[in-house]
Amino acid sequence: MQIDLHFGMTWVVARCAGFNTQQAQIIAYASQYVDDATNQGHIKFDNGATYTRITTAHKMLDYRNLQKLKNRQVWIPFHFLPGNGGLPAGSNPSGSFIRKLVCKPNSYVAKDMISECIANRHRPYALHLLGITSHVFIDTWGHQGFAGVQHDINHVRDIKDHNGKIDVHWTQKVANYFKDMIQDDIPSLGHGQALSNPDLPHQHWSYTNGFGEQVERNNPIDFLEAANELCKVYQLYLGLSQTGLSESQKEKIMQCYQDFKMDCGEARLALWLEAISNDEFGLGACQLSYIPKGTGSWKHKALATELVEGDEDEYKFSREFLASDWKLFHDAAKQHRLNIVDVILPRYGICVG
């Protein structure tokens, strides 16, 4: 999924579940920042202190550089949560090991992830962790059928629209994006070959995967289910009855999926934010914005840097840094990765460390 859902829709669902405006803002920002925390390494302060952040995503250009993509510590815990074939711990799906790594909606692995997140709600970074968990959780619907490793199962052929017609537009976009690569050389990691089709909330499409299996995808239906299940997660977190979204809330969210049909996630987000500011969801009018880097961002507030790319050689240390949203996000990301890689996946016989 893209920024319109990871930030805009996530804020709406958090408010629907019972979080207040400020809490929902933290959850939604952290959810989207999973896609934007692309820098790595440690930062230095003028008093000799250092802080090591965590990378939770790669830039889109890295899809053309397979060596940068071979980082299972990024793709598997943060974007393509293994589904173990939809089976509980101790059971194995039929076929080869790759079947364990394929993403499945609302899997037992995902439920264990939710439990670990809730177990850490006493932490200072609890809401940031919930935002990260939210990102990964709803992506189990968007990324279903794909795995966060380089494998033939991620090969995509014969993408068709809902009328069964070959999507020539997709074919041309693949050719343009990967330039001189032939089909067999295009990185088969995640849904790279499908480009943004798995992430578009209005898309109804089908394709043939690397095992020759025909796959039908109805994103609006899948994503509404994801939103409803995410609401239940938030209600569980708050100790409320897990009733999910109301019918009117479902109808409004589905209307957004169907009406906001542009392929650009930023353009769709602008429409979500306009609807929120006009109180179209009945949650109270609220002016929201998302700034990933530069002035006004979490990083700017934490480190007083206006840089959009790269880092300063040194930052002035302030005690406020220790409680900043930017640091708390990275603290939470470390906890999340530990939960997934070292605690949960081994229960399912999956080792990706």
Q: Give the pLDDT of residue 298.
A: 98
Give the Cα separation of 5 and 118 in Å (integer).
Answer: 22
For residue 206, give the H/E element and its range.
strand 204-209
pTM (2 decimals)?
0.92
Contact 107, 140 (CB under 8 A): yes
For residue 339, give the H/E element and its range.
none
Give the Cα separation of 87 and 350 in Å (integer).
Answer: 13
Maximum Cα–Cα distance for the chain, whole Å? Answer: 63
Residue 109 identity (one-letter amino acid) = V
Give the Cα separation of 60 and 275 in Å (integer).
Answer: 29
Per-residue confidence at 197, pLDDT binned at 50, 70, 90? confident
Residue 145 pLDDT exceeds 90: yes
The tens digit of pLDDT for each residue in 33-58 reads 999 999 888 999 999 999 999 999 87
The tens digit of pLDDT for each residue in 286-340 reads 999 999 999 999 999 999 999 888 889 999 999 999 999 999 999 999 999 999 9
pLDDT greater at residue 43 or residue 353: 43
Give the Cα separation of 262 and 254 in Å (integer).
Answer: 15
Q: What average pLDDT does the segment 228-241 reach? A: 98
Give the Cα separation of 191 and 209 in Å (integer).
Answer: 10
Residue 73 identity (one-letter amino acid) = Q
Contact 102, 348 (CB under 8 A): no
Residue 61 pLDDT exceeds 50: no
Q: Give the pLDDT of residue 182.
A: 41
Q: Give the pLDDT of residue 210.
A: 86
